[in-house]
Amino acid sequence: MTDSSPKTIDTLLSEHRTFVPPADFVAQANVSDASVYTTADADYESWWASWAEKLQWDKKWDTVLDWQLPYAKWFVGGKLNASVQCLDRHVDAGNGGRIAFHFEGEPGDCRTLTYADMLAGVCQVANGLKSLGVEKGDRVTLYMPMVPELAMTVLACARIGAIFSVVFAGFSPTSLKDRVQDQAAKLIVCADGAWRGGKVLDLKKVVNEAVADCPSVENVLVWPRGGALKSSAEDLDRDVKWADVVSSQATTCEPESMDAEDPLFILYTSGTTGKPKGILHTTGGYMTGALATSNLVFDLKPETDVYWCTADIGWITGHSYIVFGPMANGVTQVMYEGAPNYPKFDRFWELVAKYKVSVFYTAPTAIRAFMKWGDEHPDQHDLTSLRLLGSVGEPINPEAWVWYLHHIGGGNCPIVDTWWQTETGGIMITPLPGITTTVPGSATTPFPGIEAKLLNEDGSEVIGAGGGYLALTRPWPSMLRGIWGDNERYEETYWSRFPGKYFAGDGAKRDEDGNLWILGRVDDVMNVSGHRLSTMEIESALVAHEAVAEAAVIGIAHELKGQTPVGFVILRNGYEATPELSEELRAFVAKEIGGLARPEKVIFTPELPKTRSGKIMRRLLRDVAEGKAIGDVTTLADPSVLQGLQQEYEAKES
């Protein structure tokens, strides 16, 4: 779906310095009165409590917040179950027949599951887990593709009080082993295979290798997806089949009444030391944050919306904005197993049209890939069902923002550009689509009840327009409760840089209108001749050139300047990598930002090293540029990309 006449990105940017929510959107928005911000800021504890009251509690809390910095306890004394919030209360309200998931497998197999179907399936899995000896407080590791059974298993663990930990089904045996060992998991639930890019990935082979060094694991529960994979037939002594343990179980299971501060899940995120951090989230506060942010940011209408978050449940986005937030709101979702470009580059848009998706949430790296593949792919589908678009995972450059608005949103869908982290549990900085006048590339303003400040090096606050370190300065319900088994690391990592304030490493700037612009991690900021330059700003300038589909920028040591930028660039179709284009891009950046930002080199590459969640690994690019040994690359989607990059860089140097 496009406007009537094609327009260049530059033209679209000039037309959209700001985007005001359309009147028809505002008229039906869940919140359209800006007083929500002043209400939440005046008494943030009561604000969050008003959302907690929308959940179904077995016992109401005695105290809203117990804040012993840096440790928070929310809804102290309250009891509830997370799976009940996502399933039972909708079924009990007469909405069991509402579709929970339209599932689409990559090969084209489809299933439609109602909330009643999901509840029955969750209870069967929960009973199966109990039959294997899993009890409240036991850890269960999940290693599965994007299938309904993964969501069922997450909710089944929550139902019986087991602490679940999802590991993205693509991580290496070493990565899986490290996570299982750290949490001393009692059970691994896996699929034997997963479809991706027209191939079946052998997940069970990965599990077999990992579990050999995991003595805590008593059983491996295997869900069949891979067909006739050889490793699936090589059952280990600990293996149990889904059909034997789950399929014959009763479809009812009494939910465990959990304390609000009982652990819900552990989710690992990369650490600067190389050892993954097991981020711990608890039940009551996390559910409150997921419910509130899903409802207001995505303006969810359970009776009419079809919502699609393209993330994997293996990441926090999938936890909060596929399983717990949308399901607590009772909305219908699309779940897709495979690659966005298989069997054709229009697969996503085909599904949007097929299921009449109304709310669509994806990552900037995916949007830039869509741009690279060509406008013709979304343009051939009817995307008029869409009414709201979202972005998550990293800062979105303005060029991708306006392309998204026009080629996917038809020029009239508000875009919610969201900033948050595994640690925060939910969205922290975002537009509210019925209120906020948005600016391409800006996350705009903190969510109601969230207080975010920009700080100088010495911890003093940046007032008005300017840049600094982004810190959160009051507790919020979905915040992490610690690092699994390592409170000292928790305190050092998040609370020591600016005492009393949460700081996880991101920088930001505030413009004259008060909008926040996320600049990325502060270690992605260069000091060039005494001037601080953000890699994101230079990347955005490179992508603004008509030849560039995607770019990554790093700072390398320079004898005179201290540091200097180097750009790695993926070209759009139809452009050729030449020395002349390299010089043109260097000059283009200098013109857009200033001479200090001119890259020392521009390296053309067909791919960039990205994690399986789509984030560019700039640290590895820096290692390539500085000739350092490349360390562990198991979290990369395609480790072979680095070899090609090294060859390209060495050729540029010679």
For residue 95, being part of any structural domain is answered with no
Final residue before a domain boundary, out of 256, 282, 312: 256
Residues 309 and 447 in one domain: yes
Residues 238 and 319 in one domain: no
Residues 168 and 273 in one domain: no
Structure tokens at 563: 């540091």
For residue 487, being part of any structural domain is answered with yes
pLDDT, residue 438, reads 97
Residues 130 and 44 in one domain: no
Selection from 159-173, 252-266, 362-376 with the highest mean pLDDT: 252-266
For residue 84, being part of any structural domain is answered with no
Q: pLDDT digit string (tens) for 312-346? A: 999 999 999 999 999 999 999 999 999 999 999 99
Residues 379 and 506 in one domain: yes
pLDDT, residue 442, reads 95
Instruction: Find, among 171, 179, 164, the residue nearest to 145 by Cα.
Output: 171
- 36: domain CATH number is 3.40.50.12780
% the chain with pLDDT above 90: 74
> Is 365:550 a contact under the CB 8 Å cutoff?
yes
Instruction: Find, among 274, 315, 272, the residue nearest to 632 by Cα.
Output: 274
Higher pLDDT, 198 or 1: 198
Residue 394, SS3 per DSSP: coil
> Is 401:440 a contact under the CB 8 Å cutoff?
yes
pLDDT, residue 521, reads 75
pLDDT, residue 497, reads 94
> Is 636:611 a contact under the CB 8 Å cutoff?
yes
Lowest mean pLDDT among 51-60, 269-278, 489-498: 269-278
Final residue before a domain boundary, out of 485, 519, 553: 519
Q: pLDDT digit string (tens) for 373-407? A: 999 999 999 999 999 999 998 888 899 999 999 99
Q: What is the rounded average pLDDT of the residues 435-441?
A: 96
- 226: domain CATH number is 3.40.50.980
Residues 15 and 62 in one domain: yes
pLDDT, residue 522, reads 77
Q: Residues 6 or more apart from 547 whose CB is under 8 A from it? A: 571, 572, 575, 581, 585
> Is 426:293 a contact under the CB 8 Å cutoff?
yes
For residue 107, being part of any structural domain is answered with no
Q: Rounded to an integer, what distance in angstroms lies between the CA atom of residue 286 and that of residue 422?
A: 12
For residue 89, being part of any structural domain is answered with no
Lowest mean pLDDT among 16-20, 171-175, 443-447, 638-642: 638-642
Instruction: Find, among 138, 144, 181, the residue nearest to 160 by Cα.
Output: 138
Please say if the pLDDT value at position 3 is more than 50.
Answer: no
Final residue before a domain boundary, out of 256, 290, 312: 256
Structure tokens at 55: 């959940």
Instruction: Find, among 247, 2, 260, the residue nearest to 123 by Cα.
Output: 247
pLDDT, residue 542, reads 92
Residue 496, SS3 per DSSP: coil
Higher pLDDT, 587 or 228: 587
Residues 547 and 588 in one domain: yes
Residues 196 and 295 in one domain: no
Q: What is the rounded average pLDDT of the residues 462-472?
A: 95
Q: Which domain holds residue 442?
A: 9-78+267-519
Q: pLDDT digit string (tens) for 284-319? A: 999 999 999 999 999 999 999 999 999 999 999 999
pLDDT, residue 653, reads 67
pLDDT, residue 560, reads 66
| Average confidence score pLDDT of the chain | 91
pLDDT, residue 525, reads 67
Q: What is the rounded average pLDDT of the residues 452-471?
A: 95
For residue 261, being part of any structural domain is answered with no
- 572: domain CATH number is 3.30.300.30
Q: What are phi and psi of 361, to 5 degrees?
A: -130, 120
Instruction: Specify the DSSP class assigned to residue 384.
Output: T
pLDDT, residue 139, reads 98
Q: pLDDT digit string (tens) for 236-289? A: 789 999 999 999 999 999 999 999 999 999 999 865 445 789 999 999 999 999
Count structural domains, the chain.
Answer: 3
Q: Rounded to an integer, what distance in angstroms lies between the CA atom of residue 107 and that of residue 115?
A: 25
Residues 497 and 620 in one domain: no
For residue 215, being part of any structural domain is answered with yes
Q: What is the rounded average pLDDT of the residues 609-629?
A: 76
Per-state percent for the chain, helix, strand, coil, to nearest 5: 35, 25, 40
Please say if the pLDDT value at position 2 is more than 50.
Answer: no
pLDDT, residue 142, reads 98
For residue 103, being part of any structural domain is answered with no
Q: Is 488 exposed, middle or buried (0-12, 13-18, 19+ CB in 10 A)?
A: exposed
Instruction: Find, among 229, 135, 152, the residue nearest to 189 by Cα.
Output: 152
pLDDT, residue 1, reads 44
Residues 412 and 287 in one domain: yes
Residue with tokens 């001037």: 531
Please say if the pLDDT value at position 5 is more than 60.
Answer: no
Residues 330 and 408 in one domain: yes
pLDDT, residue 544, reads 87
Q: What is the rounded average pLDDT of the residues 192-199?
A: 92
pLDDT, residue 368, reads 87
Residues 506 and 597 in one domain: no
Band of residue 607 on the pLDDT scale cut at 50, 70, 90 = confident
The secondary structure of 498-526 as a DSSP string is TTTSB--SEEEEE-TTS-EEEEEEGGGEE
Band of residue 104 on the pLDDT scale cut at 50, 70, 90 = very high
Please say if the pLDDT value at position 530 is more than 80.
Answer: no
Please say if the pLDDT value at position 228 is more than 60.
Answer: no
The radius of gyration of the chain's CA atoms, rounded to the nearest angstrom, is 24
Q: Can you list the alpha helix ranges (DSSP code H) found in 134-197?
A: 148-160, 173-183
pLDDT, residue 413, reads 97
pLDDT, residue 51, reads 98
Please say if the pLDDT value at position 64 is more than 90.
Answer: yes
